[in-house]
Structure 1
Amino acid sequence: MTSPHAGHGLRVVASGSTGLVLTRTFAAPAPLVFAALTEPDLLRRWHGARGWQLTACEVDLRPGGAWRFVSTGPAGAEMALHGLFHEVEPPVRLVQTEIHRDWAEGEALVTTVLDEVDGRTAMTVTATYSSAEIRDAVVRSPMERGAGEGYDRLATLLHERQQP
């Protein structure tokens, strides 16, 4: 599986029976990308697909700390997810669990790695789901489009943050 949203710069590839790997490069240094991925004031400005807004954003950025997002979209649709941070290594690595309210059971272990070269940061997000069923449900969902649009919004925010 490769992303049909090449214009977004997001690439999504299946990994084994329970994993997904998302990659995207941003024209920004790793500390700025890390901040945008972890600071509620910045997350509220970009997280989610177009038409969606992060209405609750709680981040306790430390190993063992909890996080919770609630997004509201068109026609009052709502998506809620939460988890715990396992590793926090600014500005290069985050490891956290992710649980969606709509999942009957199970979770994902999500590892985000940022690799900066010459002021550009390659982001690799590896999500390992607790079952093939959950991973397949994520693949069938509009996650890829939503993530692509969200990362486009993130790229815009990162560009704006670097302007004098």
Structure 2
Amino acid sequence: MTSTTHHETQIVSDPDVPLVRVTREFDAPREKVFRAHVDPDLFARWNGPAGMETRIDRHDCRTGGSYRYVMTQDGEEYAFNGVFHEVRQDELIVQTFAFEGMPDAVALERLVLEDLGNGRCRLTCTSLVDSFEGRDGFVASGMEVGVNEGYAKLDALLAGS
């Protein structure tokens, strides 16, 4: 039986700019964590809160590519989309992120993967929105639950691969 370590996820709202920073360590090499973000089949398996399913409509994870996915639960659907502005193998993804229910609230996200050695890595994702109110709404929307439960699913996926 494989044992999975769950690391603490830090979610910090910057006091000076409308930005949220998420930091999380994984007991997996950054190549595997990167692949779990760029491979649509893997992404759908771990993304989002427990109990929700992710359907990928489009996931062209390359510089200039775009994505759209729909999360479903109990007949409800929540769609998200964006554009990949820069993708660097195993280390960086810069993208926009929009919830289609609030199309004017677009975040600019920067995901960086840092190799920690010994088959471990650190993920740091910053999400910049256009106002403090928007940022606070982003955080209040249940983001913390979705991030923590999604990363727990990612831990299990990485331990099994």
TM-score (norm 2): 0.90
Cα deviation for residue 104 of structure 1 reads: 4.7
User: 1:66 and 2:66 equivalent?
Assistant: yes
Moved over 6 A (4+): none
SS at match of 1:148: helix
What is the identity, as a one-letter code, of the residue corresponding to 2:11?
V
Equivalent in the alignment of 1:55:
55
Please state if 1:112 is matched with 2:111. yes
Taking the aligned partners of 1:131 and 1:104, their CA distance within structure 2 comes to: 15
Kindly state the Cα deviation for residue 59 of structure 1 after the two structures are TM-superposed: 1.1
Alignment check: 8 A CA contact 1:8 1:148 kept: no
User: How far apart, in 1, do the equivalents of 2:103 and 2:91 lie?
Assistant: 32
Structure 2 residue aligned with 1:4: none
- Most deviating of 53-62 and 146-155: 53-62
Q: Where in structure 2 are the equivalents of 1:1-164 lying within 5 Å?
A: 9-15=8-14, 16-73=16-73, 75-118=74-117, 119-161=119-161
The residue identity in structure 2 corresponding to 1:32 is: K
Q: How many residues align?
A: 154
Tell me the SS of whatever aligns to 2:139.
helix
The one-character-per-residue Cα deviations of 1:7-56 (angstroms, maximum 9, x if unpaired) are 76211001134100001100000110000011111012111100000022
Task: Structure 1 unaligned segments of length 5 or more: list them.
Answer: 1-6
Q: Aligned to 1:141, what secondary structure does the other structure show? A: helix
Percent pairwise identity: 38
| Partner amino acid, structure 2, of 1:11 | Q
Q: How far apart in 2 are the matches of 1:144 and 1:150?
A: 10
| RMSD of aligned Cα (Å) | 1.3
Ranges in structure 2 where 5+ consecutive residues have no aligned partner: 1-5
In structure 1, C-alpha distance between the alignment counterparts of 2:28 and 2:140, rounded to whole Å: 31
Shift in alpha-carbon separation, 1:121–1:32, aligned structure 2, 3 A: same
Q: How many Å apart are 1:64 and its aligned residue? A: 1.4
- The farther-off stretch of 57-66 and 119-128 is 57-66
